[in-house]
Structure 1
Amino acid sequence: MKTDRPTIEKLFRDFEGKHVLILGDVMIDAYLRGKVERISPEAPVPVVQLNKRENLLGGAANVALNIRALGAVPVLCSVIGEDQRGKEFMQLLKDDGISGEGILQSDSRITTTKFRIIGNKVQMLRVDEEMDTDLNDREAERLLDKIRELMQRLPVSVVIFQDYDKGVLTRSLIEDVIQLANSKGVPVVVDPKKKHFDAYRGVDLFKPNLKELREGLKIDIDSGDIESIRSAVSHLQ
């Protein structure tokens, strides 16, 4: 395929109006920014004097932002908690112009939030507020029903699995959604993680990074040896 300017511009135009269903773990990326001028008398740690808080969409929700930036229509599907962070997440979706109709809330889960503490423009600490257990059967069935309803009602052009190993993508849910997409002729794209690496049979595009390829295949790969990488990819295929 040629990569001249008209071809590239056409690729971007082709995104316009396409409905992209994104299924996976969503989260809030929270940033606490400030300055450091002293060390705490309580322990040998810097004291960050806070001057700015910022919440951004993270995980699969960040993928939805990127899809929207390309001109397509993101259809985001996930499960979050019935908690304060969940309210903040839904408000972030609204602020960024992304529909929350595919987001379910559960009283047995919390909304994943990653706090990054930044002092003098340097990240000093990250605190993760999350749970990584799989959805229970009832939650998974509710999410699958929602996905079926959205794919019946909307002209979904592609399904993206965005996996962060936080429990939204269970093995049975993955297999059921792949079967549903295949029955409708909708291509499936996967950004995997280790836990369900081998559950994505029958998809169209599978995009592990090098670390995920090593962990998923349980083999060592020399990143400086292209033949080693080719051999690992052939083994995966």
Structure 2
Amino acid sequence: MTLETLFEAFKQKKIIVLGDVMIDAYLSGKVDRVSPEAPVPIINFSKHEERLGGAANVALNLISLGAQVAMASVIGNDKNANALIQLFEEKSINTTGLIRSDDRETTVKTRVLGNYQQLLRIDQEQTDDINLEQEKQLLNQIESLLKQGYDALIFQDYNKGVLTESLIKQVIELTEKYDVITTVDPKLKNFLAYEGVTLFKPNLKELAEGVQMKIDFEKDRPQFNQAIKKLKKTLNPAIIFVTLSEHGVYIEDNKESQHIEAHARTISDVSGAGDTVISVATLCLVAGMKVSRLASMANLAGGIVCEYRGVVAIKADELFKEAKKLNV
């Protein structure tokens, strides 16, 4: 498969992203003095910005690569929910899978920046599990989307209560019914609930916590292999894909396993890199790319976004040019 064919294939794919969505808000300004009231900087406010965050950043990455995307989640019935939906609509992300509830608060993370440095973060959020009624409504919306012919569903967990253990299991059953690929970017809480998914993508820390082992990838490779074996036995995913930070990525299916080194880069910010990796991996998977090349492409994309400050989506043209140059 040529890169040209691959990137054209991305534009034909339809992906559902299921998980915790939020607004990343930024209040920024200039600091030139300290308050006389308390030993804190005074910010002369200049700008307020709101961006899609959490699982919604996965949707942004997919949109940036040309795919069609539907978002599925539970949010509040508040003014922040209105702002969130507007942000989705501006990016042409399908919001029919969003459930609004009077019992939930829409998550907003507000970062206060002075002279381009983060001074404070204020979180407005609700992290208890969604209730059975919200679960049922969300399942109905997901099934309605699956009936429309989607290629994959991404579980993107940020530990805010949308991905309950029972919801995960029921969604996996639905995706099996409609023959849809499933990929997962997990968190510890329901780490072992994803039995039988297509691709499971923890980072090294999540893998260690999930299988309850201490892992040093660099110094004790047999120990890492044992953790992979344990994960495989418990969840039986078709593909295990582990991100290893500065050590690159590791991927394994029933035919092969491979460790791919990270590319040398000037790292500015690792925030959101995992979102980019699961997005690219999912699109490559539904496009029919073999796992070793899939891992190389996702590894490359994750590295590219780390060169930018803040959470950014991968740009299709930038990924294409880098992949062409490196012969990925």
TM-score, normalisation: structure 2: 0.68
Matching residue within 27, 35, 44 for 1:32: 27
SS in 2 for 1:145: helix
2:47 to 38, 46, 52: 52
Partner of 1:163: 157
The letter for the 2-side match of 1:206 is F
Equivalent of residue 110 in structure 1, options 98, 105, 108:
105
Which protein, 1 or 2, shows the higher relative CO under an 8 Å CA cutoff with sep ≥ 6?
1
Task: Percent identity, please.
Answer: 49
Are residues 1:77 and 2:90 paired?
Answer: no
CA RMSD of superposed structures (Å): 1.2
Identify if the C-alpha distance between structure 1 residues 178 and 51 changes in structure 2 by more than 3 Å, giving closer, same or farther.
same
Determine whether 1:65 maps to 2:60: yes
- Output the CA distance in 2 between the equivalents of 1:123 and 1:50: 14
- 1:28-82, Cα deviation, whole Å (9 max, x unpaired): 0001111111111222111222100100001111111111111110011011100
Query: Which stretches in structure 2 are left out of the alignment for 5+ residues?
Result: 233-328
Alignment of 1:1-237 (within 5 A): 7-152=2-147, 154-225=148-219, 227=221, 228-237=223-232
Q: Structure 1 residue 119: deviation in Å?
A: 0.6
Q: Structure 1: how far apart are the matches of 2:220 and 2:27? A: 41
Rounded to whole Å, the distance in 2 between the matches of 1:226 and 1:78 is 39
Aligned counterparts of 1:215 and 1:84: Cα–Cα separation in 2:
37
Tell me the alpha carbon deviations over residues 72-119 of structure 1, each in whole angstroms, 9 at most, x when there is no partner.
Answer: 100110111001111110111111121211111000000001111111
For 1:108, the aligned partner's letter is D
Aligned AA (2:158) = Y
35-44 or 23-32, which moves further after superposition? 35-44
Shift of 1:185: 1.5
Distance 2:136 2:102 in 1: 15
Any unmatched runs of 5+ in structure 1? 1-5
Give 3-state SS (helix, strand or coil) of 2:227's partner: helix
Deviation at 1:141, TM superposition (A): 0.4
Residue 226 of structure 1 deviates from its aligned partner by 5.7
CA distance in 2, matches of 1:47, 1:72: 43
Taking the aligned partners of 1:124 and 1:115, their CA distance within structure 2 comes to: 11
- Cα distance between partner residues in 2 of 1:210 and 1:9: 32
Instruction: Select between 16-25 and 214-223 the one with higher mean Cα deviation.
Output: 214-223
| TM-score, normalised via structure 1 length | 0.94
